[in-house]
Amino acid sequence: MKLKIFSDRNFLPTGMAPTSILYPFWSDLHSGEIYSWISPYNRYVEVGQSFFEMVPLEAADIAILPMDWRSIRGDSWRGSSDKNAEQLAIQFAELVHQAGKPLVVFFGSECSDESIPIKDAIVLRQSVYQSLPQFANNPIFPFFCEDFVKEFLENQLPIRQKGQKPTVGFRGFARPLSLDRRVKTLVYHGMMLSKEGRLGASPYKGESLRVKALNILSNHPEIESKIKIFDRAVFFDAADPDQKRNARMEYVQNLTDSGYTFCCRGSGNYSNRFYEVLSCGRIPIFLDTDCKLPLDTLIDWKKYCVWVDEKDLSYIGERVLDFHNSLSPQEFVDLQYACRELWLRWLSPEGFYSNLHLYLQNLKKQLVSDVAR
């Protein structure tokens, strides 16, 4: 199905990147490169116009806010909104509302659990809390990472054979919650109470959870550990593109050398690493911190992950062993292919956007069902 979409560049502030769904139509404005040498969206830019048709507002199935709300709000919880961009967004929403068309807003980043000053929009977010009523039916969109197999592994998925022990990898940033961060957490709670009427979780929660979980996994006698922890964000501290690429290659090597990789929330309640692991055809160990994952009415996520509830963190080693021991050697191999296929079909930019019509249809059914109840 080809969705008819509407957007308007006149409502996009000068110098602000459009939201990624519009890249195939506004490629001259495309500034969506996550890293200086590669963009995850190259393939989507090539094929995106086969999924969507840009039409006038009166002929559209849906309207797309020209910018991701993160560009208005800012990435950091300490950020402040771009008031000019916010006013343009509200004006665009009013135009769409007057035409009687559904409005779709994308809101990425760690702050995407915050409310926006637009009513009756379908807001696709990245960071929400499953247990909060306002997010019960909220659609989620994935973090769009590059295709690791294509860009780093010569387009050949390396398959691991099942060993007697599960091999668990992690290469990245983790540190205990310091006094400074505890003070900043109090400031964050005050801000959230003022803006949203609720506390929210500390933006530093992921750091301390990683330390606890990785300590258990790296010291478990029945787990082969390939865990390397840094007390700073090594990749983002790299000074030039070559250094960044080398850091990325070391990260990818850690993924391919492991059957399982630990994935936990960062500053927001979602994990970029989770999607990178799936891209690489590896099995995530997913620590559920009241998360909501994309396409959760269409995908049985627990089939693809070692799923560990936050309350069961102290048993994470046992959860990994139970999962590993439940798989036959062939099932272990098959699951690696399945994780890779899941990412390609549903979670890559072209996979997600090609299925957006299914997602929105399913969301409408959910909303009608909720109203009926």
CA distances from residue 276 to 23, 171, 342 in whole angstroms, order as listed: 21, 12, 12
Q: What is the pLDDT of residue 162?
A: 97
- Sorting pLDDT into bands at 50, 70 and 90, what band is 149? very high
Q: How many other β-carbons are positioned within 10 Å of the β-carbon of residue 71?
A: 22
Mean pLDDT within 136-146: 92
Contact 109/86 with Cβ under 8 angstroms?
no
Pick the CATH number of 148-176+209-347 from 3.40.50.1100, 3.40.50.2000, 1.20.1440.20, 1.10.357.10: 3.40.50.2000
373 pLDDT higher than 90: no
Mean pLDDT within 239-255: 84
Q: What is the pLDDT of residue 194?
A: 72
Q: What is the pLDDT of residue 33?
A: 46
34 pLDDT higher than 70: no
- Sorting pLDDT into bands at 50, 70 and 90, what band is 202? confident
Q: Which helix (H) or strand (E) holds 123?
A: strand 121-125
CATH 3.40.50.2000 maps onto the chain at: 148-176+209-347
Q: What is the pLDDT of residue 367?
A: 42
Q: What is the pLDDT of residue 44?
A: 95
Mean pLDDT within 175-204: 73
Contact 23/11 with Cβ under 8 angstroms?
no
* Most distant CA atoms of the chain, gap in Å: 64
Q: Which of 69, 82, 62 is nearest to 20 (CA)?
A: 69
pLDDT in tens, 39-90: 899 999 999 999 999 999 999 999 999 999 999 988 666 666 788 999 999 9
For residue 183, give every residue at least 6 positions away whose Cβ sits within 8 Å of its Cβ, in sequence order, or none.
none
pLDDT in tens, 290-303: 999 999 988 999 99
Q: What is the pLDDT of residue 32?
A: 47
Q: Which of 270, 330, 335 is nearest to 305 (CA)?
A: 335
Lowest mean pLDDT of 56-70, 194-208, 328-342, name the range. 194-208
d(CA 166, CA 9): 51
Q: What is the pLDDT of residue 76?
A: 64
More confident residue, 298 or 314: 314
Q: How many other β-carbons are positioned within 10 Å of the β-carbon of residue 331?
A: 11
Q: What is the pLDDT of residue 36?
A: 45
Lowest mean pLDDT of 3-7, 84-88, 243-247, 352-356, name the range. 243-247
Mean pLDDT within 255-269: 95
Name the token pair of 236: 């983002």
d(CA 152, CA 204): 31
